[in-house]
């Protein structure tokens, strides 16, 4: 009686090897890692832009504070001259009053601008803190995921390393003529051997004739699917 079970086991091992090799090259975790890396890189770009804006406001604040201090000093100096009686000329007094009012207006306006900048800085600082926390979380997630990815890759490599020995053990028991026929069929099919379940060829999902099913059960001769041409395997 023909025994196609070893041939079927080899085909399963070959299929497992192909699937593992694909998984080794591009797994779901690998895709997730790439996506997460992209998010982290974009997050850092956004953070740097925000930080640059924050630093710009800090410089502007420093300048405005210096402007306010200078204007306040001028107000104090002019006010002291004006109200101490140092200036006695009526025209000069009027001119000084106008200048003093203008300086006070500059001080008030600059102080309002300083308050506005400080509010902007508070808002930007809060945004930077939030983005920093989000980035750190994503970096931690990336490290954990990367560790899992490396462990999975090592696991796959370990399984792949064991497959050739398992395959060879089965191959040593195979009939050479049957193996040669199988190898020849591989030129046409990736998986030349098709399992039959409930009267269906699982290679093409088409029904098997009653006569072919009878021949399969007898297990004397090789039986091929009349639809796809694959060698049929019926597990006893």
Which tens digit of pLDDT belongs to each residue from 180-210? 999 999 999 999 999 999 999 999 999 999 9
- Element holding 206 (H helix, E strand): strand 206-207
Q: Which residues of 183-195 are buried (b: 16+ CB within 10 A; e: fewer)?
A: eebeeeeebbbbb
What is the domain class of 26-171 according to CATH?
A: mainly alpha
* Beta carbons of 183 and 231 less than 8 angstroms apart: no
Strands 193-197 and 231-233, how do they pair? parallel
Q: In whole angstroms, how far apart are CA 50 and each of 44, 59, 72, 129, 171?
A: 10, 14, 32, 11, 64
> Which pLDDT value is given to residue 88?
72
Domain boundaries, the chain: 26-171, 176-233
> Which pLDDT value is given to residue 70?
93
Packing angle of the helix pair 5-25, 176-185 (nearest 10 deg): 40
């Amino acid at each position: 009686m023909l025994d196609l079970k070893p041939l079927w086991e080899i085909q399963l091992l070959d299929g497992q090897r192909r699937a593992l090799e694909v998984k080794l090259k591009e797994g779901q975790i690998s895709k997730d890692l790439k996506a997460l890396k992209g998010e982290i890189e974009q997050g850092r770009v956004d953070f740097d832009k925000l930080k640059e804006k924050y630093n710009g406001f800090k410089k502007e604040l420093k300048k405005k504070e210096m402007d306010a201090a200078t204007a306040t000093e001028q107000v104090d100096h002019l006010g002291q001259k004006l109200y101490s009686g140092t200036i006695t000329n009526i025209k000069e007094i009027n001119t000084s009053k106008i200048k003093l009012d203008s300086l006070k207006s500059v001080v008030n306006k600059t102080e309002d601008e300083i308050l506005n900048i400080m509010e902007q800085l508070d808002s930007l600082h809060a945004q930077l803190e939030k983005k920093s926390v989000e980035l750190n979380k994503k970096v931690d997630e990336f490290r954990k995921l990367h560790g899992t990815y490396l462990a999975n890759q090592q696991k796959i490599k370990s399984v792949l390393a064991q497959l050739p020995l398992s395959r060879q053990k089965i191959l040593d028991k195979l009939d050479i003529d049957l193996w040669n026929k199988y190898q020849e069929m591989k030129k046409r099919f990736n998986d030349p051997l098709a399992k039959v379940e409930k009267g269906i060829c699982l290679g093409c999902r088409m029904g098997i004739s009653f006569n072919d099913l009878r021949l399969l059960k007898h297990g004397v001769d090789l039986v091929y699917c009349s639809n796809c041409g694959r060698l049929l395997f019926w597990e006893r």
